[in-house]
Chains A and B, each alone.
Chain A
C-alpha cells in the first residue's frame, strides 16, 4: 500500500468506514511508515478536539422568546398574514368564478332562433329553385305574371301565394 492510499484509509477510519481487511492493511503500513504514523496521529488529534466537550445550550426561555417574537410579528404586520393566505384565496376565488360561470352557461334557457333564408336553404334542405320552377311551369302568361308579383313582395310562405 502506498501513502496516498493509506491517507484515504485513515481518513475513512475516522468515521469507522473501513473494512477489517482495510484496517489490517492500514495498520501494517503505519507500522512501517513513520510519516503516515505522524499524519494519523494529527488527524486523530484534530478529530478528537474539534468537537466541544459539552454541547452548548441556548440562552434561557428560548421557546418563550421565540413564540413571543412570532406573535409580535403577526400582530404588527397583519398584512403578512394576508400574504401568507393570499395565494390560497386567489386560487379559491378563481375556482369559484369558473364554477359559477360554467353553471350559468349550462343552465341558461335557449331562446328559439329564427333562421335566415340561407340557413333555411342549408340546414332545412330547402331548394330555392323549387319556387322559380313552379312559376316557370305555368302555361298561361297571366298566371306566371301574378305569381312573380306575389314572389316579389317577399312572402316567404310559398303555400300562401297565388295559385292559378
Chain B
C-alpha cells in the first residue's frame, strides 16, 4: 500500500496501517537509537517510545517533509533526551555486542578478529565521550550512512553546516583516539 495512504489511515486511528509503517521503519529506527545507546534492550525500549510518540503526533504530521525524515527527527530528539538523562551512566560496549560481529568476519585469523574487536570497542568508547552534537552527526552519517540531504532535513541544518559540523566531529574523534589505537595494525594503512 502507498505510504501516503498508510499515513492517512494511521492518522484516522487505523492500528493495522500504523503496524505496516512500523514494519517498514523499525530496523532503521532501532539501528539509529542503538547507535546512541550501544545496548540492545535500551535501544528496543527507546525505539518503542519513538513509535508511540510518532503515533500520537501523527495528527500534526504534514507531508512537507517525508515521513522517514520526520520519524528520524523524532528518534534523534528522543535519543538526545536519553543521552541527557543518562549522561555519565553510559554503558561500556560489551563483548556480547561486538563479539558476535567479530565472529562473522571471514578470512581473518583469530588474532586479527581480536584486534579489530578491540579497536571497535575503543572507537565506540571514544564516540560515547564526545559532545552530543558531534555524536549525533557522526551517528547519522558514519554509522547510519544517511546522505547530507537527509541529515540536513532531520537536523534542520544547511548542507554546508552539516559538512563543517561533520568534519569537526571527525577531527574531535580522532583527537580522542590519539594514542589509544594501534594505527599500524591491520590493513588500513596506505
Contact = CB atoms under 8 A, between A and B. Distances in A.
Interface stretch (B1-9, B44-52, B68-76, B77-85): B44-52
Interface in A42-88: 42-59, 62-63, 65-67, 69-71, 73, 84
B59 A84 contact: yes
A49 B123 contact: yes
Interface of A is mostly: helix
Contact of A49 (B19, B56, B59, B116): B116
Interface stretch (A33-41, A93-101, A139-147): A33-41
A148 interface: no
B52 A73 contact: yes
Contacts of B105: 53
B15 interface: yes
Nearest 6 A/B pairs, CB to CB: A53-B101, A45-B188, A58-B30, A59-B44, A11-B167, A63-B22
Interface in A1-51: 7-8, 11, 14-15, 30, 37-51
B40 A45 contact: no
A50 B143 contact: yes
Q: Which range holds the interface residue count of chain A?
A: 35 or more
A55 B142 contact: no
Contacts of B19: 63, 67
A58 B26 contact: yes
Interface of B: 15, 18-19, 22-23, 26-27, 30-31, 34, 40-41, 43-44, 47-48, 51-52, 55-56, 59, 97-98, 100-102, 104-105, 116, 119-120, 123-124, 127, 138, 141-143, 145, 148, 166-167, 170-171, 173-174, 177, 181, 183, 186, 188-190
Nearest to A37: B190
Contacts, number: 112
Given A56-B43, A58-B44, A45 B183 contact: yes
Nearest to A51: B143
Contact of B142 (A50, A53, A54): A50
Contact of A66 (B27, B51, B189): B51
A38 B170 contact: no
Contact of B189 (A7, A41, A73): A41
Contacts of B141: 15
A66 B52 contact: yes
A17 to B, nearest CB: 8
Nearest to A50: B142
A148 to B, nearest CB: 80
Contact of B120 (A14, A49, A55, A71): A49
Given A53-B104, A59-B44, A62-B48, 19 more contacts: A8-B167, A42-B177, A42-B181, A45-B188, A46-B123, A46-B173, A46-B174, A51-B145, A52-B98, A52-B143, A55-B27, A55-B31, A56-B30, A56-B97, A62-B30, A62-B44, A63-B19, A63-B26, A70-B15
